Amino acid sequence: MATYSVHSSNFFAENNKITAVIDWQGSWAGPLFLQAQPSPLIDYQGSILLKPPGNFDDLHPERQAQIKRQIFKSTLFQLYLMETEKRNPLLARAFHLDHGKTRRLPVELARNPWDDEIVLFRESLINVESIVKRDGWTHPETFDAAFNFFSELRELGLEGLRGEERERFDKQTSWAKNQR
């Protein structure tokens, strides 16, 4: 669940399970592949460094401080990933989905692209465009199932449409006629 005014007093839990949420306006319960991301408190996007380099003692104190911060952030992030794997394997797997961030960012940024994020929003759409072709994107292993699923949706859509709208929809989705 994504919420933008998270306060511990708004969540009620029992036996490590959330039992109630109050003041939830603006919250969104979306699919895990769009929601899964480490907490901003511990998320680390830099290169992972778990021990100081051999010449650490010879470095300038400012550089030593940078390295110590990098080691701290790397260690904390790795610990978080290991604990998540142990406590919530489904979430841990979602962290490592192909193109996870590329798929998540357009949805995240589309909520409010005008708060200095329009450039990030456009960049995220360009990134999506680079991995998605005209017929969409899915793993090769699941392509047949995805194609069949869309074909079934197409048939349902055609049943509910009439006139020009049906013709337009039929033409736009003709590539997905169930040929299998």
More confident residue, 108 or 160: 160
The encoded tokens of residue 96 equal 């490592």
| CA distance readout (Å), 128 to 107, 121, 131 | 11, 11, 5
Is residue 174 scored above 80 in pLDDT?
A: yes
Read off the pTM.
0.54
119: Cα separation from own chain's centroid: 18
Backbone angles phi, psi at 84, to 5 degrees: -65, -40
Q: What is the mean pLDDT of residues 153-163?
A: 88
pLDDT tens across 128-149, in order? Answer: 777 776 666 677 888 888 888 8
Beta strands per DSSP E along the chain: 11-14, 17-21
Indicate the pLDDT class of residue 48, thresholds 50, 70 and 90: very high
User: Which pLDDT score, from 0 to 100, does residue 2 have?
Assistant: 55
User: Which pLDDT score, from 0 to 100, does residue 146 have?
Assistant: 83
The encoded tokens of residue 18 equal 């959330």
Indicate the average pLDDT of the chain.
83
pLDDT tens across 2-25, in order? Answer: 555 566 777 888 998 888 888 777
Backbone angles phi, psi at 2, to 5 degrees: -105, 125
